[in-house]
Each structure stands twice: as structure tokens, then as C-alpha cells.
Amino acid sequence: MLDIVNLSKYYSNTDGERVLAVSDLFLQVNRNEFVCIVGSSGCGKTTTLRLVAGLDRPTKGKITLDGKKINGPSPERGVVFQEYTLFPWRTVLANITFGLEIKKIGKQEACQIAGKYLQLVGLADYSRAYPYELSGGMQQRVAIARALAADPKILLMDEPFGALDARTRELLQNELIRIWQNNQKTIIFVTHSINEAIFLADRIVVMKRNPGRIQEIVTIELPRSRERTDESYKRYYTKIHRMLENDL
Amino acid sequence: MTQKVLEKMMLRLLLPALLAISWQALAVVIDKPTTLPRLEAVGNVLAHPTEKILITGSLVENSIISLIRVACGFCLAAAAAIPLGILMGYFGLAERLFESAIELLRPVPPLAWVPLILAWFGIKSLADWFPEQSYSMICDSIQFSMVFIILIGAFFPILISTIQGVKSIPQILLESARTLGAKNLSLLYKVIVPAILPSIVTGLRIGLGVGWMCLVAAEMMPGSSAGLGYLIWYAYELLRTEIVVAGIVVIGLLGFFMDQGFRYVEQRFLWVNRMR
């Protein structure tokens, strides 16, 4: 479904030097698959996600979604960032209808759709609240609902739970899996946390620095409704941890 | 609760009251109304706002003419400064193109333009455009030169605030809007404009203040025959300082209320103050 072919990205750093952020990357993501990307800081995982989102242009190579070349952001690739990105002047409900308004979907229908996704993320009672009235975890839930409401083919998540406390983080991971299973979505999820990746992913793409490239792709063969305390977790954790250590 | 409100009010009025008392005491001691008019003389002028003053109109008439002039200059300034500010804040190219010119012109006091503006516009007024109108009395008083001075005064604060507003929109907010399908016009109307609205209102408030200050100067230009600034100047030539002071009080009060109005609007943008 998503095809990344021979992708490279240079960018200029503040000294004006050209830095190779991502080098010769190949990756295929299948429909309804949950792929996590892990790696140390500066391994190009965020760059890769931004390229798929269309927020940056590749220097070389190409990315296609269902055979169509990506050249710019589009609502068919929803993005959830680590930073809180809700529009502060809009209520929760109006934040979720944002993408629908742009699609020129009628107000009533838009509110209905938004209500559905608000329910999905468990915030039906907060539709009229403003983002500043919500906790970080609630804001990220709304951001997920906002991205989903635009009905994307693929959901791109860049450390969306990175700024949350451990307990909230686990809660949201559970919810994300539930949403993913019930809604038949394809997700690429960038994270620092190996544990998070093992809990969420069908496959984990382990990346490596200088230049950013894929080190290995680990398939997680654990049944769904995973238990974080499961023994086999440790095996995966040790394996991936070792790979990342080699990259220090 | 009411006790507290009362105390606060008292505190606010303390200094103006002291000022008024010392003014009056000094006026009585000096006993030269042309230098320092007594408060009751000033109060007498203020108490009859609809009465004709000297050969000019009444306080109210002059105030209305001044307000219309300021409104014209201010609206033109906003209409020019807001779009330009958005362009300059958003596009680096536009900023580089206009920045040096604007930074050169900005420190020039609006009054420095007076001779040039008079050379351009003379004493032409709106009446030159609409000669047959029945409300020509008002059109007659809207001289282009005055409107232009006010425009210059109000323009820069609005422009700077707008640019600052656009620049302080978090990049990631624009990016997430684009991933939701916003581009060009929808990005402008649905993200940039609402995001900078509070900055624009602040700019408008400051710009209106500066425009109002330029007013008196503008109304002292040749060809002026009405307005608070004209009234003050005219009264000064006749050594009627109580009218001068009354005019100053009215200018101050009107400026104060306009500022309060904008402050009220500013405070309605709750999200600005409550963001993280």
C-alpha cells in the first residue's frame, strides 16, 4: 500500500552544511498494518515520517501511496505530532471538524462525524471545551480524533505520547490499539520507546544513525491484546536494545 | 465585595483628584485665567457640550468631526497594514522586499510629513469628490491631508503587530493544518487569520491611540475649520485657555474610552492568556 523506494533526504544544518538525514531507504507498509519506527535521536525517523506526510520533499527516491506519488501534505495521510497542535481558538468539536470543513462537508454531517470520533477517543463530554482546558493526554486524544475524522488511508504518528506521563501513555496505547483494530487503519508510529513499539507494532523498523538508514526490521509475533508483562517481551526488548546500543 | 470595588475605584481616582485640587489651588493663587484657568471655567465649558463655542461648532460637533477623521485614517491604515503585515510575516520574500523601506519610514514622526502632505493634497476634502451631497458640512471637514497624517500614525503599530502575530504562529500548527487539507486560502482564513486576530486587535488599539494623538496636530494644519485640535488652537489664539483645557479633557476621555473598548475585545480572546 505505502511504498518507499530508495529514499534519501539531505538538509542544510545551521552551519550551511549538507547533512544526509535519510539514506537509501526502502520500506513497504501493508494495508491495516501497524509499523513502528524506533532508533536513537538523529537516526532520521522523524524525517522519514515527514517525507511520507509530504511536509518535506525527498532529495532522491520516491514514496507512493496506493500507486500515487506523494508530493505534498494531504488529508489522506493524517498526522499526529508530539507537540500539542490543536487550534487553540477552536473548541474540541470544531478542531475535529476542521478537516471536514475544508472538504466542504455540511455542518450538520461534520458535527455528526466529529461526535463519533470524539466518542471513540472517550471525550464525548468535552466537545465544547477549549484545548487549554484539557490535559496533555486529552489533547492528544483530540488530535487523534481530528486526524481520523478526515478519514485518512494511513495515520502517521510522530512520538504522539512522548510528552505524557507513563500511566497516561499506557492508557492511550491501549486505546490506540482498540481504535486501530476497530477502524481498519494503517499506522506508522515513530517512538523512542522500545516497549511502546513492542506493545503496538506488527513490525518494528529499527533505524540507525550517520546516515539515517534501516538497520533491521523486526516482526513482532505476539498475539494481539498483548500483555506488557509477557515474558517474550523481554526477548524482543533485549534484541532491539542491543541493536540501538551498537548505534551509540 | 462592593467595599473592595469601592476601594479600588478610590485608589484609581486619588491621583486625578489630587491633580485637580492642586490645579485649582494654583489657579486661585496665580489668578491669571489666560495662564491657568480655574476648574469651574473649564467645567462650565464641559457642562454645555452642545452649545456653540466661539465661532466654531459645539464640543460635540467638533468631537464628532474629529472622530470621523480618525475613523477614516484609522480604517485606511488597517486596510493597508493588515494585508501587508500578513504578507510580510508569512513570506520571507515580501519581508525582505519591504522591511528596509518600512524600518526607514517608521521612526519618522508623522508630523514631519505635514509640509509634503500639504503640497500633495492642499486643502482638498471629501467634498471635492462629493460636491452635491447634502451632508457636505461633514465631507468638507474630511481633508485628505488630515486623514493621511492619521493614517501614517496608525499604520506602523498595526503593521508591526500583524507581522509579529504571523511570525509567532507555531510552525507545527500550520503543518498540521496542511496535513488536514488546508492550503492557500483555507490556510489563510481558517488558521492564520484566527491565530493572529489577538495581535491584530492589540495593533489596532495601539494604532488608534497613535492616530488619535496625531489628530490634534493634523487639525492644526491650514484649511482646518473644525475638530477638537482646531478648537484648541483657535481658543489658544483668543487666549481662552479654559476652552483649551476642556478640549484636552475631551480628547483624553475619548481616547481613554476607545482604548478601553479595544481592551475589552482583547480580553475576549481567552485562549491567548490561557495557552500552556
Comparing alpha-carbon positions, the chain B residue that sits nearest to A87 is: B173
In this prediction, residue A246 carries a pLDDT of 78
Contact A79 B175 (CB under 8 A): yes
In tens digits, chain B (276 residues) has pLDDT values of 678 888 888 888 899 899 999 999 999 998 888 888 988 888 888 888 888 887 778 889 899 999 999 999 999 999 999 999 999 999 999 999 999 999 999 999 888 888 898 888 887 887 777 776 666 667 777 888 889 999 999 999 999 999 999 999 999 999 999 999 998 899 999 999 999 999 999 999 999 999 999 988 888 877 788 889 999 988 988 999 999 999 999 999 999 999 999 998 888 877 776 654
Q: What's the N-to-C CA distance of chain B in angstroms?
A: 31
Residue B212: CATH number of its domain = 1.10.3720.10
B180, B190, B269 member nearest A75 (Cβ): B180
Comparing alpha-carbon positions, the chain A residue that sits nearest to B170 is: A85
Tell me if residue B270 falls in helix, strand or coil. Answer: helix
Contact B269 A89 (CB under 8 A): yes
In this prediction, residue A212 carries a pLDDT of 86
> Which residues does residue A190 pair with via DSSP β-bridges, in sequence order?
A37, A158
Taking alpha carbons only, the member of A111, A102, A171, A113 closest to residue A141 is A171
Handedness of CA A240, A242, A244, A246 (dihedral sign): negative
Q: Is residue B20 part of a domain?
A: no
Interface residue B170 vs chain A (CB under 8 A): yes
Task: Provide long-range contacts, Cβ within 8 A and 24+ apart, for B208-211.
Answer: B208/B70, B208/B74, B208/B154, B208/B258, B208/B259, B208/B262, B209/B157, B209/B255, B209/B258, B209/B259, B210/B110, B210/B153, B210/B154, B210/B156, B210/B157, B211/B70, B211/B73, B211/B74, B211/B77, B211/B150, B211/B151, B211/B153, B211/B154
Question: Residue B236 CB: number of other CB atoms within 10 A?
Answer: 15
Q: Which residues of B touch A132 (CB under 8 A)?
A: 270-271, 274-276
Q: Is residue B59 part of a domain?
A: yes
Q: Is residue B253 part of a domain?
A: yes
In this structure, what C-alpha cell is assigned to residue A218?
Answer: 523486526
State which amino acid sits at residue B166. Answer: V
Torsion angles phi and psi, residue A76, rounded to 5: -75, -10
- To the nearest whole Å, the CA of A197 is away from the closest chain B CA by 24
Q: Is B149 exposed, middle or buried (0-12, 13-18, 19+ CB in 10 A)?
A: buried
In this prediction, residue A156 carries a pLDDT of 95
In this structure, what C-alpha cell is assigned to residue A46?
Answer: 522523524
In this structure, what C-alpha cell is assigned to residue B228?
Answer: 477638537
> Which residues does residue A37 pair with via DSSP β-bridges, in sequence order?
A190, A205
In this prediction, residue A248 carries a pLDDT of 67
Q: Is residue B131 part of a domain?
A: yes
- To the nearest whole Å, the CA of A114 is away from the closest chain B CA by 14
Query: Contact at 8 Å (CB) between A7 and A37?
Result: no
Provide the pLDDT confidence category of residue A139 given band limits of 50, 70 and 90.
Answer: very high
**Mean per-residue pLDDT for A90-95?**
94
Tell me if residue A43 falls in helix, strand or coil. Answer: coil
Q: Which of B169, B180, B189, B269 to mutate to test the interface with A (most CBs of A within 10 A)?
A: B180
Interface of B with A in 11-70 (CB under 8 A): none
- Residue A211 preceded by cis peptide, ω within 30: yes
A78, A102, A133 member nearest B182 (Cβ): A102
Domain with B135, as residue range(s), is 37-275
> Which residues does residue B271 pair with via DSSP β-bridges, in sequence order?
none
Contact A132 B170 (CB under 8 A): no
| Length of chain A as a residue count | 248
Interhelix angle B39-47/B241-267, rounded to 10 degrees, is 60
Distance from C-alpha of B147 to C-alpha of B276, rounded to nearest angstrom? 42
Comparing alpha-carbon positions, the chain B residue that sits nearest to A79 is: B179
Contact B276 A84 (CB under 8 A): yes
pLDDT in tens, A43-67: 888 999 999 999 999 999 999 999 8
Q: Which residues of B touch A131 (CB under 8 A)?
A: 271
In this prediction, residue B276 carries a pLDDT of 43
- To the nearest whole Å, the CA of A50 is away from the closest chain B CA by 10
**Mean per-residue pLDDT for A221-239?**
84
Model-level pTM?
A: 0.86
Q: Which of B168, B171, B176 to mutate to test the interface with A (most CBs of A within 10 A)?
A: B176
In this prediction, residue A166 carries a pLDDT of 87
Write the DSSP symbol of residue B188. I
Rg (CA), chain B: 23
Taking alpha carbons only, the member of B39, B37, B60 closest to residue B48 is B60
State yes or no: pLDDT of A240 exceeds 80: yes
Q: Is residue B193 part of a domain?
A: yes
- Count of domains observed in chain B: 1
Contact B194 A98 (CB under 8 A): no
Q: Is residue B100 part of a domain?
A: yes
Q: Is residue B16 part of a domain?
A: no
Question: Residue B83 CB: number of other CB atoms within 10 A?
Answer: 12
In this prediction, residue B220 carries a pLDDT of 81
Distance from C-alpha of B114 to C-alpha of B218, rounded to nearest angstrom? 8
Q: Are strands A203-208 and A34-38 parallel, antiparallel or unpaired?
A: parallel
State which amino acid sits at residue B55. Answer: I
Q: Which residues of B touch A81 (CB under 8 A)?
A: 172, 175-176
Q: Is residue B28 part of a domain?
A: no
